[in-house]
Structure 1
Amino acid sequence: MKIGRLGLLGASLALLAACATRAPERPEVGKPSPAAPRSPAAKGAERLLPAVPNRLTQPTPAAPAVGRPRGAMQVKPLDVAFRCASLDERHHSAQADVEVKEGRVRYLRARLATPQGGACEFALPDFLQTQRPSVVELKARNGRCTLHMWEQGPKVTLAYSDCEQYCTPSKTMDYILPILYDRRVKRCN
């Protein structure tokens, strides 16, 4: 029995299609993997932090000048969600995944590291929210550590104090700076 060239080509293609396996998709750097939960309500699992950039993070542009405010500043609840990672000129890295809705912290995970190997890590389950109008305050469930979050113009700041217990070694706390997230360029410094 003779098989024509077209028949042989068709059989070969069918065999290749049957044997081919699809390679798993790789998530983009800085994006959560498809398997990672997208909200804290999804089983309360930790999400992966964005990868630290391998180049220095560029400084954000200066905020536009504004005139003298008229009247008192409005007090409104903080509303922000961001995932960012940065590397500064001292080679300190910062990684953050934050979600705040109407002043309530829904998810928070941050890691700051120094080139000497020191690191500080914060996660929402270790804290209790004690304040929420315009400045969000989280106090450690055990210890003196306090986290504060506020916005000033286009920037959101995540600052910490007395958090040596979350740092390895504890003196790392002396060298880390607050995380500043700029909404205009969607990155942190």
Structure 2
Amino acid sequence: MKNVLMVLTALFVSSSAMAYDQKPTADYNFRFSPIGLLVGSIGVDLSKAITPEWTVGPELNYWKFSLSSTDAAYTSDYDISSSKIGVRANWYKNGVYTDGLYVGPSISYASAKVTTTDALGEVTGEASGLFLGCLVGYGWFWDSFNMTLAGGAQTGLGDTKVKVTDSSGETTDVSSLSAGVALEYNLGWTF
């Protein structure tokens, strides 16, 4: 896994220094998730063209919401928050910001926290870690507006435990799933 991380890091570092002969029609692409906005999540990324086929840039996500508790042991809703910051590259088969297949490898740091209360006080669950992901999808690009749809997978790197603190202050580590499916539907603008 360390080798994969080193190769991905080398790609990000070396690709920004590469010069390219053809200039894409735009240098940047700002994208957001409209489905995420419907459920209260803010997810954005900004890509910069670095070669005729590659882009690289930051991605950010923040989500805060509440779920009703159906468990009689808890006296309040579950308050849930999560955040993610990462770096993502995109390889476009037909060239940067052109209709067609794209592949998007990424590395990110994510954290999540759940808080509720029981009869004695606050109960929390927290998890965080590094994640490696890759999406494969299709992009549609018009003058400056674009839309992308993709699916793929992500996996945690390193520790994948959730730290649970009960109302008495006692902490327990619980194993969690470190791999999963990743989906993307974004709207964007090139400039």
TM over 0.5: no
| Higher strand fraction (1 or 2) | 2
Q: For the pair shown, which has the larger CA radius of gyration, 1 or 2?
A: 1
Q: TM-score when scaled to structure 1?
A: 0.37
TM-score, normalised on structure 2? Answer: 0.37
